[in-house]
A and B are shown apart, each in its own frame.
Chain A
């Protein structure tokens, strides 16, 4: 594949055995995985085209252990890649030969549930769904729900500021977190926020969330939990064109209704998902919307009737309201397993661009042209309410030329998203994958300001190296570090 990975620091790689021995004196020895087979399990994430065997892997069990590991790496100039469950689609958790992977998977306890104040304090190795499961019996849930929620961790969600199907109503990760315990690269432990709704001073929590593991390692989080609605029910709306479906979404929102989710699938996606999940999706339509609303059964019936009425203005070829909880579950199963279902028929490259909804029809036409031109098929699945597209470019990973064409098509699609007023990534993060495209969306001063903030948190640029910024920006970063030191030295403080 085409993306360059940074050259590993040979001096560090040569010292591997010494480093492993020293790490094993800092934490219980079984915390450190150093054998090749063990490390192999951590060589990639969900962007599987890229693989690198890490220097070593640490699976600490406490904030204190994380702190000791980071301080050691800081003092010895060893890079660190923090890892949740390794479900990143952008290569955000890709290791490096000269970097220690620190995984949080063994830190997955629920520390405190406070139903009256509607918060849960957890270790960040807990899975996203694990938080909801922990409070479900009390009638509560944790709102952000990425498709990978069964596997992905809160740590990873914080790193990428993950969204999900229901964020139209409930917001993304940053809107649902109140407090964090963060270990900085030099081992210092800081607590930001708490169980109250706004934190003191600068919004450091807002900066750390979505920093892609480059500012520190978050070991504990206090999240908002919400009372589950009385009920929820999805409906299916099929249309003869993607444009009609897009216009219907605009009309629903224009009528003052914010459904808890509006999901879109085009024909190729519908067919694959239906074959997999038997959700009863109409397979003869060009575009399908899943619209879900919440409330009492009467409120749900009223709202779905209004939505149906609006949809009728766009000549739907299918309108079906779920009649049972089994049917609702099947409808969502089809959507949430879409990536897996498509993975059964081909390798795919999943994009994550966002566009203004108004441009939907035009953008979908141009996306299929971009892929056609390269002889590639594309399936579209996305969160329609917020314009977050997920074109899945299908290719054969064993065919290097095809893989390269898929990457090119992906880059062109993301450029298109920026061109129409959108952005490169809505919820997957920049990671490795979109690193070199950052200059399409940002100018030099925009990127310099971001890099200066990176330097605030991680002056030596040791955390999650080679991601987020174009590689040739790294020398500039070192200069920024020296500049910040100078500025701090000369300041009145």
Chain B
């Protein structure tokens, strides 16, 4: 990557000035928070980067209204620590890409979390980052400051730019401040584990649990090869595939619901009940994507129907060696594949085309990410709308140009 300078505006007005100048000069900029996801996406060539890192601080927190506002560069860790002090949390539980991308843990900024719409295991029950975003302030590619949404729980005043900007990876606007919904942290977390299930049967068990009234808030399955990388000694040492379910609630409810789930799932084998600390550790590992660490083999993130998850993996396995970890009851597949020139892109796209969903090449060498489509190629109609949308926000094409799609 080219050596380049980094600008760190200290407030929204400075950010606007920097972007207005770049817009007038047609200077492309790399947009980042702390850079924990910098290696995700197509490699881009820019002379300079703009980081939101210096715009930090929580500016509003009303626990009884379940709302927080923070400047974009506020560390996620600071947000979560502040919430924890009042017994609250981010319900969408963002995963930490840092360590699996070869960086440090806990570096992400809250702006980056929303800009990349990063969610974790609880997404299956509680919604994604985008579902919790209530309001934004930001600067578009013209250098204009704008806002959308607000600080109240419900708001349909004007078009929904919050959703429009979540997951746009800094290509439409640079967020300067985000307001989001927070929720009470559960009193207790309980985890049930099944071992040695083939993928398809495991996903069937997960779907059965998700279709119960017991409000399962985590549903994952790790193939044996990836379960062997768990830090949790009790689970790792089994040498078997691990299928886990989480229930969270008041202690008495957790006990009751675990009991009912055990009845419901008894046909799937012996069910292990993870003890208190181990339960928390296991879900922290899932949030930290621990089983994808310590390797630089390409990793695909595939979103599909839960029951299609195992079919995608079976199909991929006929083309390449593929280690998979399923989240969201089977609907999110993290697939680690051998390092080839295209990281298996042609096969992945073909399989997805048949089974539905989309795939993103999260981890791969820069030359691979430059050579293949990292994000799912779009149908013609959506591609045209997306390019028009990009132009409506960033006519000079200065914000993370080409990060998601070539020429966009």
Interface positions of A (Cβ within 8 A of B): 114-119, 139-140, 160-161, 163, 167-168, 171-172, 174-175, 184, 188-192, 194-207, 209-211, 227-230, 250-251, 253-254, 256-258, 295-296, 298-299, 302, 354-358, 383, 385-388, 421-430, 434, 438, 441-443, 445-450, 452-457, 468, 483-484, 487-488, 490-493
B17 within 8 A of A: no
Chain B residues 182 to 223 lying within 8 A of chain A, measured CB to CB, are 183-185, 187, 204, 207, 210-213
Contact A203 B381 (CB under 8 A): no
Give the docked Cα–Cα distance between A227 and B124 (Å).
13
Contact A426 B156 (CB under 8 A): yes
Contact A449 B356 (CB under 8 A): no
B389 within 8 A of A: yes
Neighbouring B residues of A492 by C-beta, 8 Å: 397, 407
Neighbouring A residues of B49 by C-beta, 8 Å: none
The 8 A-B pairs at the shortest CB distance, nearest first, are namely A206-B163, A256-B184, A386-B153, A200-B358, A426-B154, A487-B395, A200-B376, A190-B381
Contact B163 A192 (CB under 8 A): no
Instruction: Report how many residues on chain B are interfacial, defined by Cβ distance under 8 Å.
Output: 85
Neighbouring B residues of A387 by C-beta, 8 Å: 65, 152-154
Neighbouring A residues of B65 by C-beta, 8 Å: 250, 253, 356-358, 387
Q: Which residue of A lies closest to B260 (CB)?
A: A296
Question: Which of B124, B145, B204, B358: most chain A CB closer than 10 A?
Answer: B358
Chain B residues 308 to 343 lying within 8 A of chain A, measured CB to CB, are 328, 331-332
Of the candidates A257, A357, A456, the one whose C-beta lies within 8 Å of that of B388 is A456
Neighbouring B residues of A457 by C-beta, 8 Å: 385
Neighbouring A residues of B162 by C-beta, 8 Å: 206
Give the docked Cα–Cα distance between A317 and B256 (Å).
34
Of the candidates A189, A357, A447, the one whose C-beta lies within 8 Å of that of B64 is A357
- Pick from B36-44, B125-133, B232-240, B286-294 the stretch touching chain A: B125-133
A446 with B148, Cβ < 8 A, contacts A426-B154, A438-B157 known = yes
Q: Which residue of A lies closest to B152 (CB)?
A: A354
Contact A491 B397 (CB under 8 A): yes
Chain B residues 132 to 165 lying within 8 A of chain A, measured CB to CB, are 140, 144-148, 150-164
Contact B160 A449 (CB under 8 A): no
For the A-B complex with A184-B385, A354-B150 known, give 12 more contacts whose Cβ atoms are closer than 8 Å. A117-B207, A117-B307, A161-B160, A194-B305, A201-B386, A207-B160, A253-B66, A354-B153, A449-B393, A453-B159, A456-B385, A484-B391
Of the candidates B166, B167, B332, the one whose C-beta lies within 8 Å of that of A197 is B332
Q: Which residue of B lies closest to A202 (CB)?
A: B386
Contact B183 A171 (CB under 8 A): no
Of the candidates A196, A354, A490, the one whose C-beta lies within 8 Å of that of B155 is A354
A197 with B144, Cβ < 8 A, contacts A230-B213, A356-B151 known = no
Q: Which residue of B lies closest to A159 (CB)?
A: B156
A194 with B356, Cβ < 8 A, contacts A118-B210, A227-B212, A492-B407 known = yes
Contact B256 A296 (CB under 8 A): yes
Q: Which residue of B lies closest to A115 (CB)?
A: B211
Give the docked Cα–Cα distance between A195 and B160 (Å).
22
A190 with B167, Cβ < 8 A, contacts A201-B404, A354-B154, A421-B150 known = no
Neighbouring A residues of B147 by C-beta, 8 Å: 442-443, 446
Contact B127 A456 (CB under 8 A): no
Contact B153 A174 (CB under 8 A): no
A195 with B305, Cβ < 8 A, contacts A256-B184, A386-B152, A438-B158 known = yes
Contact A201 B152 (CB under 8 A): no
Neighbouring B residues of A385 by C-beta, 8 Å: 153
Contact B331 A257 (CB under 8 A): no
Neighbouring A residues of B187 by C-beta, 8 Å: 256
Give the docked Cα–Cα distance between A444 and B356 (Å).
41
Q: Which residue of A lies closest to B165 (CB)?
A: A203
Neighbouring A residues of B140 by C-beta, 8 Å: 449
Give the docked Cα–Cα distance between A117 and B311 (Å).
14
Give the docked Cα–Cα distance between A355 and B65 (Å).
10
Chain B residues 60 to 74 lying within 8 A of chain A, measured CB to CB, are 62-67
Contact B213 A228 (CB under 8 A): yes
Neighbouring A residues of B155 by C-beta, 8 Å: 354, 423, 425-426
Of the candidates B117, B160, B358, B385, the one whose C-beta lies within 8 Å of that of A190 is B385
B59 within 8 A of A: no
Contact B131 A201 (CB under 8 A): no
Contact A200 B212 (CB under 8 A): no
B243 within 8 A of A: no
Neighbouring A residues of B157 by C-beta, 8 Å: 423-425, 430, 434, 438, 441-442
Give the docked Cα–Cα distance between A175 and B129 (Å).
11
Q: Which residue of B lies closest to A489 (CB)?
A: B391
Contact A421 B152 (CB under 8 A): yes
Interface positions of B (Cβ within 8 A of A): 62-67, 87, 117, 119, 123-124, 127-128, 130-131, 140, 144-148, 150-164, 166-168, 172, 183-185, 187, 204, 207, 210-213, 250, 252-253, 256, 303-307, 328, 331-332, 356-358, 375-376, 378-379, 381-382, 385-389, 391-393, 395, 397, 404-405, 407-408
Contact B307 A116 (CB under 8 A): yes
Contact B163 A163 (CB under 8 A): no
Contact A116 B395 (CB under 8 A): no
Give the docked Cα–Cα distance between A194 and B123 (Å).
17
A-B contact pairs, 23 of them (CB 8 A): A114-B305, A116-B207, A167-B154, A184-B381, A190-B385, A201-B376, A202-B386, A202-B389, A204-B385, A206-B162, A207-B160, A302-B250, A355-B152, A358-B62, A422-B152, A429-B156, A430-B157, A442-B158, A450-B148, A453-B161, A493-B387, A493-B407, A493-B408
Neighbouring B residues of A355 by C-beta, 8 Å: 152
Contact B64 A253 (CB under 8 A): yes
Contact A487 B391 (CB under 8 A): yes
Give the docked Cα–Cα distance between A441 and B150 (Å).
10
Question: Which of B66, B166, B376, B392: most chain A CB closer than 10 A?
Answer: B392
A192 with B305, Cβ < 8 A, contacts A258-B183, A302-B250, A354-B154 known = no
Q: How far is the CB of A406 from chain B (nearest CB, A)?
A: 21
Q: How far is the CB of B25 from chain A (nearest CB, A)?
A: 15
Q: How far is the CB of B179 from chain A (nearest CB, A)?
A: 11
Q: How far is the CB of B163 from chain A (nearest CB, A)?
A: 2
Give the docked Cα–Cα distance between A172 and B163 (Å).
13
Neighbouring A residues of B379 by C-beta, 8 Å: 190-191
Of the candidates B131, B213, B305, B405, the one whose C-beta lies within 8 Å of that of A117 is B305
Contact B185 A210 (CB under 8 A): no
Question: Which of B65, B66, B67: most chain A CB closer than 10 A?
Answer: B65
Of the candidates B144, B150, B332, the one whose C-beta lies within 8 Å of that of A449 is B144
Question: Which of B211, B212, B405: most chain A CB closer than 10 A?
Answer: B211
Neighbouring A residues of B381 by C-beta, 8 Å: 184, 188-190
Contact A203 B130 (CB under 8 A): yes
Give the docked Cα–Cα distance between A484 and B357 (Å).
31
Contact B252 A302 (CB under 8 A): yes
Neighbouring A residues of B159 by C-beta, 8 Å: 207, 210-211, 450, 453-454, 468
Neighbouring A residues of B306 by C-beta, 8 Å: 116-117
Of the candidates B168, B250, B303, the one whose C-beta lies within 8 Å of that of A196 is B303
Neighbouring B residues of A357 by C-beta, 8 Å: 64-65
Neighbouring A residues of B167 by C-beta, 8 Å: 198, 202-203
Neighbouring A residues of B158 by C-beta, 8 Å: 430, 438, 441-442, 446-447, 450, 468
Q: Which residue of B lies closest to A421 (CB)?
A: B151
Neighbouring A residues of B393 by C-beta, 8 Å: 449, 452
Neighbouring A residues of B156 by C-beta, 8 Å: 160-161, 210, 425-430
